[in-house]
Amino acid sequence: MSTTTTIGLIQFTASADPDLNRATALSMTEAAADSGARLVLPHELVATQYFPAFPISDTYFDLAEPVDGPTVTAFRELAARRGIAVLVPWFERAGSGRYFNTAAFVDEHGDILGLWRKVHIPRVQVPAGNGTIEVDEKYYFEEGHEQYGVVDWNGVAVGVLICHDRHFPEAARALALQGADLLLVPSTSRGIPDSADPVATWRTELGAMAIQNCLFVAATNRTGLEGEQVFMGASLVVHPGGDELSRLGAEPGIDVIEIEPAAAERVRRARGFFRDRRPDLYGAIVERDAATASARVRPASGADVAGASR
């Protein structure tokens, strides 16, 4: 495995024209490659605006593309021509009436190494102007059903979480337990509700993901105004130790960051987090029936604690 690799982050403001968005993303990917990037990460739904925040309309289904459609195909051709890898996040049409929020990992030969379909699909109320709007991804996207997995890219174990998936620590841990050295997190975020400082919250959450799982986290986010939503950018890379290696601002931009993937394993050995896990005590995490879990698990009383053997 190469001792280092370089990641290119790209972020931009999308228009209502998929062809223009695709051209912008391809041009920025080329620029990142010119600056030495070997792996380029655009933001979520790279060819479209974030239409789930707009009033619901079935016309948005017309934006969906199969895996052999224009977006993935264009990036596969670019990847093979430039000898780089690209994560391609797009609105996938997977058959009659089946639509997903998907990302394809394309290697430097133009081959697709893996597909990830967003698992956690949000429907939330968010502030906008003097009121709120509903962000309804559930209307457009089916939940992904595949187990979280990693792909081996030139000796680097890569996993993917798509935007809302990042809020569920079990997902990142599942990828880390499979040996992921690097998590890619293409996102569309204006910040989560009740966060006074959205960028600080974004940084804190992704930093904690890197620290707790002892791996690199590279996350991208779109920028600018779409409808009533202002997206905050702040694409970044976090080291397994928790230090930010790079962070873009609120404007469209490109950054290229060198990482040493082997640092993930070094940090895991030093911290012993995986050795010290107690999965035998974590059953409540996946318990589907909260009432059953409550009946089984009785909080310890003072007498229990006092009489416990040490």
pLDDT tens, residue by residue, 137-195? 999 999 999 989 999 999 999 999 999 999 999 999 999 999 999 999 999 999 888 88
**CATH number of the domain that 226 lies in?**
3.60.110.10
Min mean pLDDT across 2-6, 103-107, 113-117, 289-293 is at: 289-293
Residue 306 lies in a domain: no
Q: Identify whether 140 is part of a domain.
A: yes
Residue 208 to residue 240: CA distance in whole angstroms: 9
Q: What is the pTM for the complete model shown?
A: 0.91
Whether 294 is covered by a domain: the verdict is: no
Residue of 29, 42, 46 whose CA lies nearest to 82 = 29
Residue 74 included in any domain: yes
- Domain assignment present for residue 296? The answer is no
In a domain, 299, yes or no: no
Q: What is the largest CA-CA distance in the chain?
A: 70
Domain that holds residue 14: 5-277
- With residues binned 3-state (H G I as helix, E B as strand, rest as coil), the percentages for the chain, rounded to 5, are 30, 30, 40
Q: Does residue 292 sit within a domain?
A: no
Predicted confidence band of residue 302 (pLDDT cuts 50, 70, 90):
very low
What is the C-alpha to C-alpha distance for residues 281 and 135, in angstroms, rounded to an integer?
A: 36
Count of the separate structural domains present in the chain: 1
Q: In this structure, is residue 26 part of a structural domain? A: yes
